[in-house]
């Protein structure tokens, strides 16, 4: 009798997963689409570079004709300030925001987002934003000047006299400070950072400027970078490569959220569903992003399970880490 009940329960579960759930998902998307067509567009604030964003928009436009995606691409901090300014002025202009989780947390804590739980992928705690991909902290080097075996492979290697005045630090990645404090321990981590600062590295805010200087040979090694940013130069045949780091890898989460007073909320829901769908996540993976969906294979070979992801407690201190970064490396 128990065996018969178990079989019946499994049959019901099978019918739900294979038959009912896909119908529910498709129906939800269809409902958003019909309403979104009346709204005609969705305005997307993002720190994702325009070239990559357009590769997401093209298949969305093909799948959902009549709903136009408008990109407003700025640095993550600029997106944050823009959203804050517009809300203080009394209204949200954008519909969706896609930036690093530390900035999403700041906006969520101020009550700027509306809840939305996509049928495509589970949202983060509280249902206010959904993770899209992770950026892995990396070290890059000029391969015309350094061999793969000669590049720093451990964080401690960065203190070698060989790299004095030949390193470049990305000030735009403050959670790298957290990573070093976590890896070495707070006291030893501070000592490491001070010694690194004393080796006279160059400092740049942002991947593009730093990588251009590594390519030019003004600096030989770049640190506090994200792997996807470096890969965009590698894919353009620039003379740079990623170091194979033998210490634990740290990663920042990026996510997407719908603003609380989004002028076009249905189009926003439709776009969120799309960007966390397997189709769009596969596109992101092909753009060297470490996607959050574990059913999407990665182009960049990294084990998602072993990454040390920068969590909410560390993200809450991002302003403190940003100040530490500036104080250490710009004096």
The CA-based angle 26-31-32, given to 5 degrees, is: 100
| pLDDT at site 18 | 44
Q: Residue 9 has what pLDDT?
A: 46
Q: How far apart are CA 192 and CA 35, in angstroms?
A: 55
Let me know whether 62 and 49 are in one domain. yes
Q: Name the domain count of the chain.
A: 2
Q: Is the pLDDT of residue 219 over 50?
A: yes
Q: What is the mean pLDDT of the chain?
A: 89
Please tell me whether residues 284 and 204 are part of one structural domain: no
- Is 15 a residue whose pLDDT tops 50? no
Residue 142 pLDDT > 90 = yes
Percent with pLDDT over 90 in the chain: 77
Asked if 176 and 259 sit in the same domain, the reply is no
Cα torsion 274, 280, 284, 286 to 10°: value is: 180
* Whether 247 contacts 305, CB under 8 Å: no
Q: Which residue has the higher pLDDT, 25 or 263?
A: 263
Mean pLDDT of 115-126: 89
- The pLDDT of residue 215 is above 80: yes
For residue 148 the two structure tokens come to 């793969």
**Sign for the pseudo-dihedral over CA of 257, 31, 283, 251:** positive
Average of per-residue pLDDT across 185-208: 94
258 in the same domain as 115: yes
Confidence of residue 28 (pLDDT cuts 50, 70, 90): low
pLDDT confidence tier of residue 36, bands split at 50, 70 and 90: very high
Residues 108 and 14 in one domain: yes
| pLDDT bucket at 161, cuts 50 / 70 / 90 | very high
pLDDT bucket at 25, cuts 50 / 70 / 90:
very low
Q: Are residues 231 and 144 in the same domain?
A: yes
Alpha carbon distance 313, 175 (integer Å): 11
Mean pLDDT of 302-323: 90
Expressed as residue numbers, the domain containing 58 is 2-134+252-306
Residue pLDDT, tens place only, 47-96:
998 999 999 999 999 999 999 999 999 888 889 999 999 999 988 999 99
127 and 77 in a single domain? The answer is yes
Q: What mean pLDDT is predicted for residues 174-194?
A: 96
Query: 11 pLDDT exceeds 80?
Result: no
Buried b (16+ CB within 10 A) or exposed e, 169-204: bbbbbbbbbbbbbbbbeeeebbebbeebbeeebbbb
Q: What is the pLDDT of residue 58?
A: 96
In percent, how much of the chain has pLDDT > 70?
91
Instruction: Give me 211's structure tokens.
Output: 């990588």
Choose among 249, 226, 247, 241: nearest CA to 153: 247
- Per-position b or e across 40-49, b if 16+ CB within 10 A of its CB: eebbbbbbbe
Answer with the residue of higher pLDDT: 78 or 221. Answer: 221
Is 221 in the same domain as 209?
A: yes
Mean pLDDT computed over 10-25: 43
Euclidean distance between CA atoms 164 and 179, whole angstroms: 22
Question: What's the CATH code of the domain at 42?
Answer: 3.40.190.10
């Amino acid at each position: 009798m128990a065996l018969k009940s178990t079989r019946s329960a499994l049959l019901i579960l099978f019918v739900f997963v294979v038959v009912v759930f896909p119908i529910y998902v498709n129906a939800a998307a269809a409902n958003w689409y019909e309403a979104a067509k009346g709204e005609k567009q969705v305005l997307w604030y993002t720190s994702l570079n325009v070239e990559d964003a357009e590769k997401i928009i093209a298949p969305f436009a093909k799948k959902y004709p009549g709903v136009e995606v408008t990109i407003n691409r700025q640095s993550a901090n600029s997106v944050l300030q823009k959203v804050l300014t517009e809300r203080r002025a009394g209204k949200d202009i954008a519909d969706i925001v896609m930036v690093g989780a530390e900035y999403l947390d700041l906006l969520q804590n101020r009550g700027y987002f509306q809840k939305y739980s996509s049928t495509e992928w589970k949202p983060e705690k509280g249902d206010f934003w959904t993770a899209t991909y992770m950026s892995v902290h990396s070290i890059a080097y000029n391969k015309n000047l350094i061999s793969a075996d000669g590049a720093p492979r451990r964080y401690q290697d960065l203190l070698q006299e060989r790299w004095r005045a030949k390193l470049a630090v990305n000030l735009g990645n403050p959670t790298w400070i957290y990573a070093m404090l976590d890896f070495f321990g707070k006291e030893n981590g501070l000592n490491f950072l001070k010694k690194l600062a004393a080796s006279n590295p160059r400092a740049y805010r942002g991947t593009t400027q730093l990588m251009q200087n590594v390519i030019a040979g003004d600096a030989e090694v770049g640190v506090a970078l994200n792997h996807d940013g470096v890969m965009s130069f590698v894919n353009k045949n620039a003379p740079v490569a990623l170091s194979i780091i033998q210490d634990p890898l740290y990663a920042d989460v990026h996510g997407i959220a719908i603003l609380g007073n989004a002028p076009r909320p249905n189009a926003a829901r439709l776009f969120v569903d799309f960007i966390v769908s397997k189709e769009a996540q596969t596109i992101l993976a092909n753009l060297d992003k470490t996607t959050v969906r574990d059913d999407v294979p990665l182009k960049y070979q990294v084990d998602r399970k072993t990454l040390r992801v920068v969590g909410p407690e560390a993200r809450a201190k991002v302003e403190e880490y940003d100040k530490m970064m500036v104080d250490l490396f710009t004096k």
